[in-house]
Structure 1
Amino acid sequence: MSPTTHSFITGVIAALYGVAGLFFLSFWRRTRDGLFVAFALAFGLLALSQTLLALAGLEREEQSWVYLIRLLAFLLIIAGIVRKNLEGRRR
C-alpha cells in the first residue's frame, strides 16, 4: 500500500472515530450517564491516536508510543463499564 493511500485511510478512520465520539457526547447530553462520557472520551483518544499515526507516518502502530494512547482509550471503556455495573448493583 502506498504511503498516500495509508495516510488517507488512517485519516478516514480518525474522522470516523471523531464522529463516534460526538455521537456518544450527544447521548451524554441527553442522559447525563457517565458511560456515554467514557465512550466519548475513548473515541476522542482513538481519533487522536489515528491522527498522530497519519501525521508521523508510522505504519506499524503496535511498535510505537502511540499505542499507549489507544491502550488508555480501551482502559477508559473498561472503567466506564465496570463503574456502570457497580452503580447498577447499588440500586
Structure 2
Amino acid sequence: MTELFTGAITMGSLVIALFFLRFWRDSRDRFFLYFALSFFIEGVHRLYSALHDAGGEDSPLHYLIRLLAYGLILWAILEKNLPKARARK
C-alpha cells in the first residue's frame, strides 16, 4: 500500500511541475519556474526513494533535498514580494 501512495505522490508532483512549467512558458515569470523546479525535485526524490530504499527517510540527504525544494518555494515567494529596484536615468 505504501508503494501505491508513493507512486501517487510522485506522479502528482511531476504533473504539478509540468503545469507550473507551462505557466512559466506562457508568462516568463520566474516565480512559476522556481515552483516547477521545486516540484520536479520533490517528484524525482520520491521516485528515487521508492526505487532505492537506502537507509530510510531519516537520513540527512533526504532532509537536504527537501530543504532545497522548499527553499526554492520560499525564495520564489520572497522574490515576488520584494520591491523591484528602479532603473536609474
- Give the TM-score category using the shorter length: 0.7 to 0.9
Q: Residue 55 of structure 1: which of 51, 55, 58 is its match?
A: 51
Answering whether residue 79 of structure 2 is matched by residue 83 of structure 1, we say: yes
Q: Greater Rg, structure 1 or structure 2?
A: 2
Shift of 1:30: 0.5
Q: CA RMSD in A?
A: 1.7
2:12 is matched with which residue? Answer: 16
Identical positions, percent: 43
Cα distance in 2, alignment partners of residues 8 and 57 from structure 1 = 15
2:27 is matched with which residue? Answer: 31
Cα distance in 1, alignment partners of residues 17 and 53 from structure 2 = 24
- 2:36 maps to amino acid: A
Count matched residues. Answer: 84
Structure 1 stretches lacking a partner, 5+ long: none
More helix by share: 1
Structure 2 stretches lacking a partner, 5+ long: none
Structure 1 residue ranges (4+ consecutive) displaced by more than 4 angstroms after TM superposition: none
Cα distance in 2, alignment partners of residues 67 and 49 from structure 1 = 11
